[in-house]
Chains A and B, each alone.
Chain A
Amino acid sequence: MDQPFIELIDIHKSFSGNNVLDGVNLAIEKGLVTCVIGKSGCGKSVLLKHIIGLMQPDSGQICVDGMPTNQMDKAQRHQFHRQISYMFQDNALFDFLTVWENIALPLTEKREMPMDQIRQRVKEKMQMLEISNHENKYPAQLSGGIKKRVALARALITEPDAVLFDEPTSGLDPVRRTSVHAMISTYQKEFGFTAVIVSHGIPEIFAISQRVAMLDQGKIIYFGKSEGIFQTDNEIVKAFISGKDA
């Protein structure tokens, strides 16, 4: 197997004595969609926040492209943040900025790119995600589905190698859930980024994922191809995907 793009090695994290991650090992391959499933509160979002660097593990190591994140210098850390984007569960759009300003923010704050190029790139992303007519609106004026698209546009504006999605369909009805999954799948194929999706949308999430990881009691109890999850012998996994209590 090639070197994984993101690798979590024996990650431990506890909050007030409660072990949320208890020796997590996970290898995320480049260009694939990996979904992380598990019961509510089992630490899926915590896992994702460790990858992006919003949380630090008590022990263990996270490597991106073979480089341990805790050994990165300032320049490497900037490069790492350019490589990986994060889409928050509740979108985390800035309510005092317009849609255009929200999407452009990661570029305008850096000023590493001329303004006309920023405008061009934002325009392209807005056209691809079909949100061009919402350019001057504020997040409060948008529907849930459009907000998701704006958040995705912002995550993609730096043209990252990987996007981490924290429950992108939470709070959406089944129709919108399907459309958000379709949107992620379509743009993943179009832009070719690596995707890690934390989701409760079972079984539809398996249709857009090539790899599935299940987290239970702080450990990865299943990792493999998404079609293989239905053939697993693990009783906890079987019970979870069939919606029963193990």
Chain B
Amino acid sequence: MFKERIEKLGLAAIEGTRSIGRISIFFFQGICRNFVPFVQISKIMEQVWFIGAKSMFVIVLTAIFTGMVLGLQGYYTLVDYGSEATLGSAVAMTLIRELGPVLSAIMIAARAGSAMAAEIGVMRISEQIDALKTMDIHPVRFTFSPRLAGSIISFPLLTALFDVTGIFGGFLSGVMMLGVNRYIYMDRVIQSIDLADVAGGFVKALVFGVIVSTMCCYKGFFAHISGAQAGQGAKSVSLATTNAVVNSCILILISDYIITFFLV
């Protein structure tokens, strides 16, 4: 009984180590294989369109309501201390330092990350990835590299969009609905933000972009392995997609803490 448990633990440790090895090789191949300029640029642009431009609506929608909630909650908390004039600072700092990068990354993981995992997973189970190998086309270059580059470009831009829209959302609820002075709100926003905050937010966005694209493409690419118990059909793709989004969100939150720890 005890021996069996130890064996299971050992097998789990070996599998865990293998997975870390696989994902590391996958990531480095993804980076290195991007340097085939003529072939890759159009594919990277396609991914910037898909990950970036097509996520704008969902980012704007999420950001405006997040900003409005922050304005609302912030106002009723600050008004007790007679500090409602600092609402602009509270909204801007919260968004730029934390909520902007994290929420945009989670929303992109849900929208584009799930699509990446499902699309590559379907390519895997329908032998399209094997077909690439028979044509001497590196499957990681074809599937993952453009998505990684597209995410690295798109995530910081979408985070910036989230921040600006969120601040406007705070303005809507704080200024337009609750009567905070608009000049004081905007003045506080401008005064409280410094370059280090913005840079920190962008560093987070870059790291989250790498995490989401790597995790989602990896799960799809190895859908036949991770979904082995579910067979190598549609079920393995759905399992890969779910795992990709859940793992991405967890890793976003863990890495957010680690980056914040080093930034503050």
State the A residues within 8 Å of B (CB): 52-54, 77-78, 81-82, 84-86, 88-90, 92-96, 105-106, 108-111, 158
Contacts and interface: CB of A to CB of B under 8 A. Distances in A.
A16 to B, nearest CB: 12
B136 A88 contact: no
Given A111-B38, A111-B39, A105 B128 contact: no
Nearest to A157: B135
Contacts of B18: none
B134 interface: yes
Interface in B113-140: 119, 122-123, 126-128, 130-131, 133-137
A92, A94, A105 interface centre (most CB from chain B within 10 Å): A92
B142 A88 contact: no
Interface in B142-159: 142
Contact of B134 (A52, A77, A89): A52
B11 to A, nearest CB: 15
B141 to A, nearest CB: 9
Closest 9 CB pairs of A and B: A81-B136, A92-B131, A86-B134, A106-B135, A92-B127, A109-B137, A88-B127, A92-B128, A52-B134
A93 B126 CA distance: 9
A93 B130 CA distance: 11
Nearest to B119: A96
B123, B134, B137 interface centre (most CB from chain A within 10 Å): B134
A85 B134 contact: yes
Interface in B134-187: 134-137, 142
Contact of A94 (B128, B133, B134): B128
Contacts of A105: 135, 137
B38 to A, nearest CB: 6
A86 B131 contact: yes
Contact of B126 (A53, A82, A86, A92): A92
A92 B38 contact: no
5 contacts: A53-B133, A105-B135, A105-B137, A109-B39, A109-B137
Contacts of B135: 81, 85, 105-106, 109, 158
A241 B172 CA distance: 79
B123, B127, B128, B135 interface centre (most CB from chain A within 10 Å): B135
Contacts of A82: 136
B224 to A, nearest CB: 13
A84 B119 CA distance: 27
Contacts of B137: 105-106, 109-110
A83 B130 CA distance: 17
Contacts of B119: 96
Contacts of A94: 123, 128, 131
Given A52-B134, A109-B39, 8 more contacts: A77-B136, A85-B135, A86-B134, A88-B130, A96-B119, A106-B136, A108-B39, A110-B137
A54 B38 contact: no
A48 B126 CA distance: 17
A90 B127 contact: yes
A170 B133 CA distance: 23
Given A81-B134, A81-B136, A92-B131, A109 B126 contact: no
Nearest to B38: A111
Nearest to A164: B134
A89 B241 CA distance: 26
A117 B39 CA distance: 17
Contacts of B136: 77-78, 81-82, 106, 110
